[in-house]
């Protein structure tokens, strides 16, 4: 295991742990998802750079486009939540009432 | 160059620690900016200058601006920074866990850096430049699918944020 493998895999694991354990704000969860997407982008880029598989280097671009889709849908949900509930604390979404 | 690489990898992991330790969203966005900039440095050090440029411009310039803008929706009078006790304990726990896992992998640790050879046989293009350009010729259908997904996401966002009375999410 090289240091760069350790760094991006631990970055992915940290983002996953932050997403799983901390749920105060919806925006914090979305930021953890973005961190995971960042580490995945770095991982795919390093794969095609290290193996010199240059045809594979279109894959990080597509991953970035799909993660932009995911981020925009998440932020739209954040805006909708802020409209209906007044705040983005996930504790409010836990209740069955509005 | 080696030490700069190690430093940028360390900053990448520390940026994710700063995101994952649950501070206020302002500070978490700042940590993600740090992680993205360090990731650019890592990719440059491994020879992917175009991928690093795309990461810097699209990710850091496009998406994180939107995140910093929507941090205004999560405004708090007293945002928690990393030096509050509840956040700082998570920072300490995450860093200690990283050190333990790093020591577990320390035996099989070898410091190899593969770099795409820049001047191999008088090549005209860097590897990642040409590879990304192949997306437009060989990867045509994937590009069509990608554009379709982006268009669909536009309608999803419009439907979600339409209003309170109509749309997918409405106040009861």
* Same domain for B11 and B85: yes
* Same domain for B140 and B68: no
Q: What is the ipTM of this complex?
A: 0.88
* CA B46/CA A46 separation, integer angstroms: 7
* CA B139/CA A65 separation, integer angstroms: 14
* CA A24/CA A91 separation, integer angstroms: 7
Higher pLDDT among residues B120 and B18, named by residue: B18
Is there a domain that residue A32 lies in?
yes
Q: B6 and B62 in contact (C-beta within 8 Å)?
A: no
In B, which residues are within 8 Å of A67 by CB distance?
A: 63
Pick the closest to residue A19 from A45, A2, A39, A1 (CA basis). A39
In this predicted model, what pLDDT tens digit does every residue of A8-50 receive, in sequence order? 999 999 999 999 987 788 888 888 999 999 999 999 998 888 8
How far is CA B93 from each of CA A9, B19, B84, B100, B106, rounded to the nearest angstrom?
18, 14, 14, 11, 20
Is there a domain that residue B120 lies in?
no
Q: Do A72 and B153 touch (CB under 8 A)?
A: yes
Q: Does an H or E element contain A28, and which? A: helix A26-50
Higher pLDDT among residues A10 and B166, named by residue: A10
* Same domain for B156 and B105: no
* Same domain for B152 and B98: no
φ, ψ dihedrals at A89, nearest 5°: -70, 135
Pick from B1, B8, B11, B20 the residue to mutate for testing the A interface (most A CBs within 10 Å): B20
Is there a domain that residue B152 lies in?
yes
Q: A89-98, B53-62, B156-165: which has the minimum mean pLDDT?
A: A89-98
Is there a domain that residue A11 lies in?
no
* Same domain for B98 and B140: no
Q: Domain range for residue B149?
A: 127-165
Q: Do A18 and B172 touch (CB under 8 A)?
A: no
* CA B74/CA A10 separation, integer angstroms: 28
Is there a domain that residue B119 lies in?
no
Q: Do A66 and B149 touch (CB under 8 A)?
A: yes
Please list, in sequence order, all residues whose beta carbon lies within 8 angstroms of the beta carbon of residue A60, skipping any fewer than 6 positions away.
A41, A44, A45, A48, B51, B54
**B68 pLDDT higher than 80:** no
Is there a domain that residue A38 lies in?
yes
In this predicted model, what pLDDT tens digit does every residue of B82-118 receive, in sequence order? 888 888 888 899 999 999 988 887 776 666 555 555 5
Token pair of B152 as six digits = 């669909």
* Same domain for B131 and B105: no
Specify the number of domains making up chain B: 2
Please say which residue of B61, B79, B109 terminates a domain: B109
State the CATH number of the domain containing residue A63: 1.10.287.3510
In B, which residues are within 8 Å of A50 by CB distance?
A: 46, 114
Q: Domain range for residue A83?
A: 25-92
pTM for this prediction: 0.88
pLDDT for B118 equals 55
* Same domain for B99 and B138: no
Is there a domain that residue B13 lies in?
yes
């Amino acid at each position: 295991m090289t240091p760069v493998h350790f760094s991006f895999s631990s970055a992915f694991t940290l983002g996953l742990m932050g997403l799983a354990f901390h749920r105060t704000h919806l925006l914090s969860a979305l930021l953890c998802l973005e961190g995971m997407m960042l580490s995945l982008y770095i991982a795919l880029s390093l794969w095609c750079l290290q193996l010199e598989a240059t045809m594979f280097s279109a894959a990080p671009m597509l991953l970035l486009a799909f993660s932009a889709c995911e981020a925009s849908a998440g932020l739209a949900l954040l805006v909708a939540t802020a409209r209906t509930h007044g705040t983005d604390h996930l504790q409010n979404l836990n209740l069955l009432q509005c | 160059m080696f030490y700069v690489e190690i430093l940028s990898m360390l900053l990448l992991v520390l940026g994710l620690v700063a995101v994952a330790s649950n501070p206020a969203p302002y500070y978490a966005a700042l940590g993600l900016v740090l992680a993205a900039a360090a990731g650019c440095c890592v990719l440059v050090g491994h020879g992917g200058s175009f991928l690093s440029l795309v990461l810097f411009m699209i990710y850091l310039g496009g998406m994180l601006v939107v995140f910093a803008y929507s941090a205004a929706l999560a405004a708090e009078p007293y945002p928690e920074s990393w030096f509050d006790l509840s956040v700082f304990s998570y920072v300490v726990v995450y860093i200690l866990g990283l050190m333990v896992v790093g020591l577990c992998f320390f035996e099989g640790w070898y410091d190899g850096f593969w770099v795409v050879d820049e001047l191999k046989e008088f090549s005209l293009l860097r590897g990642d430049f040409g590879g990304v350009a192949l997306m437009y010729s060989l990867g045509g259908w994937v590009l069509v699918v990608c554009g379709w997904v982006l268009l669909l996401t536009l309608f999803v966002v419009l439907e979600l944020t339409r209003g309170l009375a109509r749309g997918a999410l409405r106040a009861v």
